[in-house]
Structure 1
């Protein structure tokens, strides 16, 4: 079945469009909060950005616990409205006073923390929202396009909005997109009502979040294929943060001698490669070997960028790298949704988000150290080679333990 088949279901189309608007709003939010923080704090703006990352890591597992305990539809509506309220505080504050750094930190912590409740609830709902279980992987691929399309169109929209809208009102736009998301969810409420919400028995309700997480951990521990996939995810995210988030902008400016506009083009090329890949991944078999093949492609693409002597070669490398990136993401998510009981999908997804987030944070931290010691291209080569190594090791791992790398709907 192809990704296009998802469009036959109106409730999935409404959900996708609403999340696309929300993702574009999130991009505007990131631009606004980062730029205002830089104007106020300079290089110390990382504290504002880091506060959101810390909030995601701190609340991440808890969000998965309650996504499995509570009505997921209500969680999604509630978190959308709360995020709309918090984000709207910035332009309101500007009307009566000055925006201070502690305002930005508060908003960053609140918005990121609430996102850790929304995302597991959304991902846990998709298996039931899909009328045909065979369409789940294609639905995951389509939903993943929201953030990647925002990455493509976001820079252009930022420039357009800045022509007639003050930067603080980017928060107003983001607030509006959260409200749109909540309204869209209300329109497809009947589809959610048909899903199988988990009504815990009294003993389960009395369980502590730690007990819930312990049960989910044991399920995860017994799933060898997913354990190795999550280890691979953490390592690849570490290298991705070092190469793409830190290395590519440095390489663009210091080696290619290009401007921020060129860096934007590389980001756009990366987004295009992502979108093309998603429509391919949606149609491949549910075989985890493709995840490791994706790692190989990602590493090769990054090596092409690190070897580039012109912007055009760097753009080609970005497209290649981006093609490999979503292959693991979609297959990993589909595995979580199909190989675990519905009562634990949210928690397993949160473990996945935690490991990926820790890898990304550690990668950006290590990058700042290595780029001071070694040439930019050399550091990018090293981390790209690690990504390729993870891909090769994963393929060998699947073959050596004779573990069937194919997963299917098991519940």
Structure 2
């Protein structure tokens, strides 16, 4: 299926040359939610460290926040397609605001235990799967179809700002002032995000103006598209079935899973690689990692331009090629400066990839299926991450740190070659994502 779309006007009434006010309200709601996550995650780790010095206990809190996307990601997609997406986003962030506010009170009164921390992390991450699925599926209803890559890039940039430049640094400062303070600010951010979501016009799945068409390989796409009236798990599998039967999405999802395997292996040992191989000092590690944040921001801002220049599918191929070269540069670097530069370029590619694959799906999947398909793509991509991290740790122990980065580079090189063969169909210049 080629990257095609009908010329539909989004709910904003804006021309295709603008993102429009509705997008920026959606952007603000999504970024504020990310800011809350960026404040809360390190604050939870710091709080856990004040309650226990057992690494297994600290890890349990981290794992509690990482499990829900794998356990409930597909379910979140179902309800993004069943319910009005604007109201779902508002309801979820309203519930998260109440939950975090209550948790802040427990912290302030000294009643927060490790079990409470883990439970809070689990519940918030579970609610987050519903918000993310709805926000992803809502975007085509507020943005012109030919600006989706640009819009996704702006969302990626906002996330980079919220997480790298604001949330993470602020979390430590707020926690030092008062342990409950970062959680109180988190609650306020969720409440404001919920109000912003309510300012969007209602966009039920059946009325959202997405431009997707059913892939010709599917005999009865309509029977799978309509949400409701069937078992929850049957609907949850619709996204996976759509990906399996749509060749281009299947390739993109497979490439995402493969590259995540390699990237997770590299990230698992990155701190040791920076310190022991590149010669980064402990004091300079924060500056070294800031290169990744800068790269992510620049890549996100450049995603729209890349899509306009090459088209969505060709852009994905070039992104993989650039990431392979960047990772090779990191593998052969033995000094902090070229290593940081390579990491920045690699991170820019990650942001571009995320923006482009999202734009392709938002243009080519029917609106009533978009929540389930987007959630299925994210879930499949996440499944390989823990495997890659475990493999990276074992390989580094057995063969040394450089071998992990060399192996990750080889995997990305193979993925790039595969993408050049499987994502080679031309996209008309007036139909880029």
TM-score by length of 1: 0.88
Secondary structure in structure 1 of the residue aligned to 2:423? helix
Aligned to 2:178: 166
Seen in structure 2, the aligned counterparts of structure 1 residues 379 and 398 have a Cα distance that, compared at 3 Å, is: same
Aligned to 1:243: 266
- Deviation at residue 406 of structure 1 after TM alignment: 6.7
* Partners of 2:399 and 2:107 in 1: CA distance: 44
- Deviation at residue 195 of structure 1 after TM alignment: 8.9
- Correspondence list, 1:391-402, <5 A: 391-399=416-424
Contact 1:256 1:309 in 2 (8 A): yes
Describe the superposition over 1:168-210 as per-residue Cα deviations: whole angstroms up to 9, x where unpaired: 3211111111111012122x23375899259x99x95321122
Contact 1:270 1:322 in 2 (8 A): yes
Q: Which protein has the bigger helix share?
A: 1
- Correspondence list, 1:325-404, <5 A: 325-399=350-424, 403-404=425-426
Which stretch of structure 1 is more off in the superposition, 257-266 or 86-95?
A: 257-266
Unaligned runs of 5+ in 1: none
Contact 1:234 1:358 in 2 (8 A): yes
* Partners of 2:203 and 2:423 in 1: CA distance: 37
* Partners of 1:104 and 1:194 in 2: CA distance: 35
- 1:29 is aligned, of 40, 45, 54, to 40
TM-score by length of 2: 0.84
Seen in structure 2, the aligned counterparts of structure 1 residues 262 and 305 have a Cα distance that, compared at 3 Å, is: farther
Aligned to 1:189: 200
Aligned-residue CA RMSD (Å)? 2.7
Aligned to 2:4: none
* Partners of 2:352 and 2:208 in 1: CA distance: 30
* Partners of 1:50 and 1:215 in 2: CA distance: 28
* Partners of 2:430 and 2:54 in 1: CA distance: 50
Aligned to 1:56: 69
- Deviation at residue 289 of structure 1 after TM alignment: 2.6
Aligned to 1:281: 303
Contact 1:28 1:174 in 2 (8 A): yes
* Partners of 2:332 and 2:48 in 1: CA distance: 34
Aligned to 2:88: 75
The alignment of Structure 1 onto Structure 2 pairs a total of residues equal to 397
Seen in structure 2, the aligned counterparts of structure 1 residues 6 and 183 have a Cα distance that, compared at 3 Å, is: farther
Please state if 1:96 is matched with 2:96.
no
Please state if 1:19 is matched with 2:13.
no
* Partners of 2:163 and 2:399 in 1: CA distance: 30
Unaligned runs of 5+ in 2: 1-15, 210-221
Aligned to 1:121: 134
Contact 1:262 1:311 in 2 (8 A): no
* Partners of 1:169 and 1:111 in 2: CA distance: 17
- Correspondence list, 1:247-258, <5 A: 247-258=269-280
* Partners of 1:353 and 1:140 in 2: CA distance: 15
* Partners of 1:407 and 1:357 in 2: CA distance: 32
Contact 1:339 1:407 in 2 (8 A): no
